[in-house]
Chains A and B, each alone.
Chain A
Amino acid sequence: MDISEHLGTSQTQEDVEPFLELTTELVQKRRSQARIIFDRFIRNRAAVVGACALICMFLFCFVGPYIWRANPNAIPLKIPLTGPDASLAPPSWQHPFGTDDVARDEMARAMVGGQTSLLVGLMSMLMAIVLGVGIGAFAGYYGGIIDNILMRFTDIVLSVPLYLLLFVLSVAFSDGSPRSVIILIAMLGWTYAARLVRGEYLALKEREFVLASRTIGAKNLRLMFRHILPNAAGPIIVNATLLVGTNIILESILSYFGFGIQPPTASWGSMIGTGNSFFDADPWLIFFPGLLIFITVLSFNLVGDGLRDALDPYMTER
């Protein structure tokens, strides 16, 4: 309820305006928090390029197959010995990325493989962040013995070299489907987010607004996820963005060594793994999926860095 109504004065918005215009600083149009962050992000040229590249990449992978109608999986019945339709053909107008060892169109496969790689990267990021935020929130909020147990668990995962653990886990649990690879990568990706969130919670739970909501009767879970979590959102979002890139790299490493996504499902990593056998004859089979991985990971990193700068509350608005 507006205070002016209580006082009986009818001070409307128009009456306030001239006051604000006295100082030059306040002439500036009021912007919402989201708008301020968006404006800062837009001003970072590298981040905008990254965001645009990501949009293009998603269009390429998810809309591309409706425009480029070559079949990514069917092996042609008759394969000519030479020409653009032969197997292991270099890039041509018929096949912009060339053809693979059984004369399938490499670009169509790159699109479908990209769907898998992007999906694995995004979904495993989501799972890892949910897991990390949950564990970090409980550890940081409750402290004491819960904190100790959860953080020792985090230490165990962090103390074994990541790739070794990843390979062992994949042999133990993965059946080569994208879903199992997503779970696998998420099981290792949550540690950083957990530590980050724990640190934020340790600091935030002492603040007055938490005490205030506790006084009016908010329960622990509500405090943790409705009151504290939004205040810790910035670093989590940045970490999540960077994690997608890391996860795409992990997926490609797993699939390259044959522990990840199994054929016939294509992913950028498994395409490189297959192309590896024909490297001498046709380096394009590795070049294109490699380039796509590079562009995607780079874009996610640029966007992540841009978000980090945009969300930083200490960066003054100029």
Chain B
Amino acid sequence: MGRYIIRRILQAIPLLFLVSIFMFTLIHLMPGGPDQVLFNPHLSPASRAAMRARFGLDDPIPIQYLKWLGNALTGNFGFSFGTNQPVSEVLQERFPATLELFITGLSLALILAITLGTISAVRQGTITDYTLTVISYIGICTPIFLFGLFAQYIFGVLLHWLPTSGMETLGYNLDPFDAFIDHLQHLILPMLVLSITFIAGWSRYMRSSMIEVVKQDYMRTARAKGVGPVKQLVGHALRNAVIPLITVVALDFGSVAGGATITEGVFAWPGMGLLFFQSLEIRDYPVLLAMLLLGAVFVIGFNLIADILYAVMDPRIRYS
């Protein structure tokens, strides 16, 4: 197992290099680079050239890449074109907000997906099952931003229950407790919207794997021993039924990240997703590159974690 993990990590490193080359080229292909978007349009050609040299944009792209790579390997991802801060600082500023949205949304999605999937499996073929199936189809077939818009309209515009954008109410000096409540109110809608698509997809997986597990012989044994229905599900069936789901969740990591980006865009949640849109607008190459690579690191990492978890939770699976 240890050797397997080490081999997989060693395989991931060249992949990351390839991704970085690919992304670097792609980003530098974007029209309207910093000299058109960022620099003062009234600059003389001479000072424009000087600015380009200052940003290191006058080298050929392969040289720029090697310079960037050399710095990146020492942990220096350059300076943001927009704010002139180091990229790592910019990302650190935005990371907590995204992490918060991510963890709450993901937890909610997991809890609800497991619960609804189990209910649907136990009540297979009943009206409850069909209703949940229809609802999850709705969740799968609707673009995530539409949920965001309708949530904003219903809870914000019509009902006036919840704020529709941002992370806190501006212009008020709230005491810590009220500020916390205010923060929670802002979190609810983005969190719900982010989780809906995944609840829909994952509860389907949960349902089918639960149906498989309930048919197993050891479940019949448990019933024969007189184990109660709840204990049967929670104590005997759940662990085995959750295994396929866990891998799917880990493999879906990239789409959760993408979903979070879109949710942040819709709700103006000031995390990395919003930063991504802002950086894209001003062609902030260093920040964009760092974010794309961070995304790739997470996706590759979680794919690996999925494989490992699979083996840890199911002793029948052996990697060599």
Instruction: Name A's B-contacting residues (CB within 8 A).
Output: 152, 155-156, 158-165, 167-169, 171-173, 245, 249, 252-253, 256-257, 269, 272, 276, 279-280, 283, 286, 290, 293-294, 297-298, 301
Contact = CB atoms under 8 A, between A and B. Distances in A.
Contacts of B18: 152, 156
Interface of B: 15, 18-19, 22-23, 26-27, 29-31, 137-138, 140-146, 149-150, 152-153, 157, 254-255, 257-259, 261-262, 265, 276-277, 280, 288, 291-292, 295-296, 299-300
A165 B23 CA distance: 9
Given A159-B19, A160-B296, A162-B255, 4 more contacts: A160-B254, A164-B276, A253-B143, A253-B145
Please name the 4 residue pairs, one residue from A and one from B, whose CB atoms are nearest each other, closest first: A163-B258, A298-B141, A297-B141, A161-B257
Q: What secondary structure prevails in chain B residues at the interface with A?
A: helix
Nearest to A251: B143
28 contacts: A152-B15, A159-B254, A159-B296, A160-B19, A160-B292, A160-B295, A161-B254, A161-B257, A161-B299, A163-B255, A164-B257, A164-B258, A167-B277, A168-B27, A168-B288, A169-B26, A256-B145, A257-B145, A272-B146, A272-B149, A279-B152, A279-B157, A280-B157, A286-B149, A286-B153, A290-B142, A297-B141, A301-B137
B30 A168 contact: yes
B258 to A, nearest CB: 3
B254 A162 contact: yes
A297 B292 CA distance: 29
Given A257-B277, A298-B137, A161 B30 contact: no
A185 to B, nearest CB: 14
B296 A253 contact: no
Given A164-B257, A164-B261, A257-B277, A293 B19 contact: no
Nearest to B259: A163
B295 A293 contact: no
A184 to B, nearest CB: 12
Given A164-B261, A168-B30, A172-B29, A159 B300 contact: yes
B143 A252 contact: yes
B295 A164 contact: yes
A15 B72 CA distance: 82
A168 B18 CA distance: 17
Nearest to A298: B141
A163 B261 contact: yes
B280 A168 contact: yes
Nearest to B298: A161
Contacts of B146: 252, 272, 286, 290, 293-294
Contacts of B142: 290, 293-294, 297
B280 A279 contact: no
B295 A249 contact: no
A294 B258 CA distance: 20
A225 to B, nearest CB: 29
